[in-house]
Amino acid sequence: MVRKNVAVLVSGGGTNLQALIDAQKKGIIKSGTISLVVSNKESAYALERAKNADIEGIYIPRGKDFEASLIKVLEDRKIDFIVLAGFLSILSEGFVKKYNKKIINVHPSLIPSFCGDGFYGLKVHEAALKKGVKVTGATTHFVNEITDGGEIIMQKAVEIADDDTPESLQLKVMQQAEWIILPLSVEKVCSGK
């Protein structure tokens, strides 16, 4: 079996990237190989995580040539799939269509709740707590031209405690949902299931 080449796009600390690296080491991801990490922030700790795992890490500055530079890097390295893991930029409709069903994202809620434009990071968890919902979670989905609007791959629910804060809920959703379903979703997509 030929393993698929996976690129992970990041903007920050890279906790989801680390979950993917760990899952690859444990054999959870066996149909793909994380072969590239691209950050649009030079100081992103995710690039250090990539270096520590012997994965090529590249910084591409956000600007008018970002997507053209990214496409060249992806094509040069024969990337099959792209994972958005804490990547805090919206990709253009043209880019998304070029990589139709080749880009997956993890979102920290049960889509269609608390998603779309403006819903990222702590804002998602603040909205869930403000609404008073008792269950939240995470969703992996294919990326299309609508923010958080692509076909759902997997979801996992997480119960909200009465004393949760946005920060405690964020950590709980990462540990109990994101770090579980993201590697499973990468394996599912790479294996063609």
| pLDDT score at 90 | 86
Q: Cis (ω within 30 of 0) for the bond into 112?
A: yes
- Decide: 137 and 109 in contact? Cβ < 8 Å: yes
Q: How confident is the model at residue 2 (pLDDT cuts 50, 70, 90)?
A: confident
What's the token pair of residue 167? Answer: 């920060």
Mean pLDDT score of the chain, rounded to an integer? 95
What is the per-residue pLDDT across 143-179, written as a single tens digit (0 to 9) for each?
A: 999 989 999 999 999 999 999 999 999 999 999 999 9
| pLDDT score at 176 | 97
| pLDDT score at 1 | 67
- pTM of the shown model: 0.94
Number of domains making up the chain:
1
Q: How confident is the model at residue 88 (pLDDT cuts 50, 70, 90)?
A: confident
| pLDDT score at 123 | 94
Pick left, alpha or beta for residue 37 (phi over 0 → left; psi -120 to 50 → alpha; otherwise beta). Answer: beta
| pLDDT score at 33 | 97
107 belongs to the catalytic site: yes
The radius of gyration of the chain's CA atoms, rounded to the nearest angstrom, is 16
Average pLDDT over residues 10-32: 96
How far is the C-alpha of 9 from the C-alpha of 58, rounded, in Å?
A: 10
Say which CATH number the domain at 77 has.
Answer: 3.40.50.170
Average pLDDT over residues 39-63: 95
Quick check: 48 pLDDT over 80? yes
Say how far residue 27 (Cα) sits from the centre of its chain.
Answer: 19
What is the per-residue pLDDT across 97-145, written as a single tens digit (0 to 9) for each?
A: 999 999 999 999 999 999 988 898 899 999 999 999 999 999 999 999 9
- Decide: 177 and 159 in contact? Cβ < 8 Å: no
Which domain, by its residues, includes 38? Answer: 4-190
Catalytic residue among 4, 107, 141, 172: 107
